Structure 1
Amino acid sequence: MKSSRRDLVSLLPASGRLPDVKVPSGHLVDLPGRGTTFVTDSRGPDPDAPAILLLHALSTTGLLTWFPSIPALAKRFRVITMDQRMHGRGIQSSEFSLRDCADDAVAVLDALDIDRAIVAGYSMGSLITQRVWRQHPVRVGGLVLCAGTDQFQTTVTERLFHQGMGASFSRLRRGAPTVADLKAEPLDPNDDLRRWAITEFRSTRPLAVGRALAAIGKHHTKPWVHEIDVPTAVVIPLRDKAIPPERQRAMAQRIPGATVHEVDAGHSCCVMRADLFVPKLVEATNTVLARWAEKEQA
């Protein structure tokens, strides 16, 4: 989370080096009383496959975080992505909170007639995933927490970073997408993947990033993560410079029975080192699914 938006865009490699997978199409879904958001719903060969809802990282979108993982997951799951509020084509709101995002996620499950799902989150998405369980435990069959933590602002440096970066981004209003931009026909990622990825990344306003950073800085679930009672897997990028791996591991140790799946890569490995990340994600999700099935049969 310490890189600027320009730095993050520059990390996108040439299109030939991005994961060579087909990116699914999606559509806007109305969430009554909340707004509309962009959702993809990828169903594998089994029409009765369990659902997995994927929640994305800060300043990205559902597809941009998860497109490399969807084909592999769709072999066993009904795979759903969504744009969180104030990100991409998510709910347009003047406020951002992780609590609201968790409620939005369950509203998507409602809209798709899904009773229970495994919920997986990456970075910011992993924080929201924890709150989905806390606020709606009966809707969650299992959790997969990737590049996440249960606390921020544990040092003076972190506090200054979140306060300073949140204020800086909040002052950057130029370049914000208009209503027409949000309704425009998006680029087809299967035509030009790199151009689509950059456009997708830039679809989140700087103001939204500032509001989200402020909310992330207040994240503190450490007092109750030990209460999580569903199968949980924690995926840890070992070279993560945004969220120290030791903090991720400490969170995993506080969650009863959580399994740990390590990736020898950095914080952006969900896309930049998908070759390493996706197999570990599949391992983690399969582990959670198997434990969920055992729990249901007990």
Structure 2
Amino acid sequence: MTAGPTLPDVRNLLAAAPPHHTVDLPGLGPLKVRDSGDRDDGRPALLLLHGWTVSADLNWCTAYGSLSERCRVVAWDHRGHGARGLRSGRATGIDDLADDAAAVAAALGIDRAVAVGYSMGGAVAQALWRRHPSLVDGIVLCATAAAFGVTAADRRDFRAIARGIGPARLLEAAGMDAAAWRVARWAGDRRAGRATGMTDPALDRWAWDEIRAGVLSRVLAAGEDLGRFDATGWLGGVDIPHAVVACTRDDIVDPSRQEALAAAMPATAVHVIDTDHAACLARPDLFVPALLDAVGDVTRS
């Protein structure tokens, strides 16, 4: 297998990533957003929506440069996620994250955009199209599904996530955020193992630092709501250009659900990569070309 990037590789990628700008979201406050363009940028705008627990940089660092050569790239940490995600706002559900995306676009003067979502970000992209159809020109859905709490095992896992919210809040109120994350990591490691696909221990430590910079109770609340998300009843109505990047060895979002997602929408362009859920960071040699092709399918339509 081709070795993934090292931490120095990622540092170099982030040094050349779109710069951060602070935007003010009405009722929510300031948010740091990466933006490669400006209000006069005539290229297609991409709203990059990252996955659950991670940050925008962790999810998209390997793709920032290539995407920015073709499009205006906008990325930020979801509520409660990463070091820069909003800490305001009472709820952290999928619809709330979709509304945040619409607010970011409005703050940047973006009237039309392509929503690009990875894992949970794919659910956010679907919700963004449904809630703000006048904004969304196209959608690219990566390593994601139309529903997540499908099987009995799924529902058990999401109930476990929900049960963690209260204890996490108590630990955070006591100033014990680090302890809360240690417990969460222990529980996650026991259930899912540590098969991240990354070959550089330093990069793995950096990834964990990006994750635990978030507010655990807010991250768990987003995960709980992800278990309730179900677009199967309305996804067939997608009437804008769309594409799917599917991972054949995904150990988080079953490949059959990624296939079902693609089949649920009419005439979906599907780009299949033979790797697991960590493709965005561990296998950029496979993920980034597929993502570029998918974005090209949508922006050329």
Instruction: Give the aligned partner of residue 65 of structure 2.
Output: 71
CA contact (8 A) 2:53 2:81 kept: yes
Question: How does 1:1-298 map onto structure 2 within 5 Å?
Answer: 14-16=6-8, 18=10, 21=13, 22-43=16-37, 47-88=41-82, 89-92=84-87, 93-168=89-164, 170-172=166-168, 173-174=171-172, 175-176=176-177, 197-291=207-301
Task: Specify the SS of the correspondent of 2:164.
Answer: helix
1:142-179 Cα distance to aligned partner (Å, 9 max, x none): 000011111122211111111012313542335438xx
**Unpaired runs of 5+ in structure 2?**
179-201
Over 3 Å counting, the alpha-carbon distance change for 1:161 and 1:195 in structure 2 is closer
- Structure 2 letter corresponding to 1:91: L
Q: Which has the higher contact order (CA 8 A, sep 6+)?
A: 2
Asked if the contact 1:37–1:84 (Cα under 8 Å) also holds between the matched residues in 2, the reply is no
> Using the alignment, how far apart are the partners of 1:223 and 1:240 within structure 2?
24
CA distance in 2, matches of 1:231, 1:269: 24
Q: Which amino acid aligns with 2:278?
A: S
> How far apart, in 2, do the equivalents of 1:176 and 1:38 lie?
22
Q: For 1:288 and 1:258, how far apart are their aligned partners in 2?
A: 10
Q: Secondary structure, in 3 states, of the residue corresponding to 2:32?
A: strand
* TM score, norm. by length of structure 1: 0.83
TM-score scaled to structure 2, two decimals?
0.82
Are the counterparts in 1 of residues 80 and 216 from structure 2 also a CA contact under 8 Å?
no
Q: Contact 1:167/1:210 (CA < 8 Å) preserved in 2?
A: no
Distance 2:254 2:279 in 1: 14
SS of 1:220 mapped into structure 2: coil
Over the matched positions of the two proteins, sequence identity in percent amounts to 38
CA contact under 8 A between 2:23 and 2:33: conserved in structure 1?
Answer: yes
1:251 CA displacement: 1.1
Gaps of 5+ in 1: 1-11, 178-191, 292-298
Counterpart Cα distance in 2 of 1:170 and 1:61: 23
Distance 1:126 1:168 in 2: 24
